Chain A
Amino acid sequence: DSGVTQTPKHLITATGQRVTLRCSPRSGDLSVYWYQQSLDQGLQFLIQYYNGEERAKGNILERFSAQQFPDLHSELNLSSLELGDSALYFCASSVLGEDEQYFGPGTRLTVT
């Protein structure tokens, strides 16, 4: 158990809908990262937050957005969902100044 929690574990929704994925980092970790894992694209970085501020952006679609709240939990919002958005979404966290990123168990999103 990495100490990173993610909810929900599974999510099934229809095209065009909007969903919110939630992540709680390890105690003391200020940085949160979101990654997408799909069969065709592999593991890809989406976005990083540090202590509430966006720090880096990767291959994140404009339909996706994220934020980190004062209690350090983070949410990833996916809107206007398409079939191709079906994937595993992972959250990871790390301590300031440390390179190790610890991943949560993921949320499996299925868009039908």
Chain B
Amino acid sequence: QQQVKQSPQSLIVQKGGISIINCAYENTAFDYFPWYQQFPGKGPALLIAIRPDVSEKKEGRFTISFNKSAKQFSLHIMDSQPGDSATYFCAALPSGSARQLTFGSGTQLTVLP
């Protein structure tokens, strides 16, 4: 059962544009929602994360928007750059002592120069 649904599967954006990736979750026990960036041949790198008590978090060009009632969250990349071209994964972590991440299926972002 896929507990975190991510869309789109792929995204092409012009340099300077806004990239938006969406995720939806089902399990209300999730209480931490990170986004990871992965380049080919590398491990996922933590980009930004949010908790359900906050509706928005911004770090530089990256912003997470969170809608608790809709059980949805999204990543916005402002002023997208070719160096942002990578695969992005949303994830969710449940409360409790078992801290296993459940990942979305990933979005391959291509930023054209």
Interface residue ranges, A against B (CB under 8 Å): 2, 4, 31, 33, 35, 42-45, 48, 50, 55-56, 58, 90, 92, 94, 99-106
Do A55 and B43 touch (CB < 8 A)?
no
Do A55 and B98 touch (CB < 8 A)?
yes
Q: How far is it, in angstroms, between the C-alpha of A39 and the C-alpha of B1 when the chains are bound?
A: 17
Q: How far is it, in angstroms, between the C-alpha of A99 and the C-alpha of B105 when the chains are bound?
A: 21
B104 to chain A, nearest CB (A): 8
Q: How far is it, in angstroms, between the C-alpha of A104 and the C-alpha of B46 when the chains are bound?
A: 11
Output the nearest chain A residue to B91 by Cβ-Cβ distance: A43
Do A103 and B44 touch (CB < 8 A)?
yes
Do B89 and A103 touch (CB < 8 A)?
no
Given A90-B43, A104-B43: A99 and B32 interface contact (C-beta under 8 Å): yes
A84 to chain B, nearest CB (A): 19
Do B101 and A45 touch (CB < 8 A)?
yes
Do B98 and A100 touch (CB < 8 A)?
no
Interface flags for B24-40 (1: CB within 8 Å of A; 0: not) read 00000000101010000
Do B103 and A42 touch (CB < 8 A)?
yes
A99 partner, pick from B36, B44, B49, B102, beta carbons under 8 A: B49
Residues of chain A within 8 A (CB-CB) of B32 are: 99
Residues of chain A within 8 A (CB-CB) of B46 are: 100-103
Given A43-B89, A99-B32: A56 and B100 interface contact (C-beta under 8 Å): yes
Residues of chain A within 8 A (CB-CB) of B44 are: 43, 90, 103
Residues of chain B within 8 A (CB-CB) of A101 are: 34, 46, 99, 101
Any A CB within 8 A of the CB of B11: no
Residues of chain A within 8 A (CB-CB) of B89 are: 43
Q: How far is it, in angstroms, between the C-alpha of A44 and the C-alpha of B44 when the chains are bound?
A: 13
The 7 A-B pairs at the shortest CB distance, nearest first, are namely A56-B98, A103-B43, A45-B100, A43-B103, A99-B32, A103-B44, A105-B43
Do B42 and A105 touch (CB < 8 A)?
yes
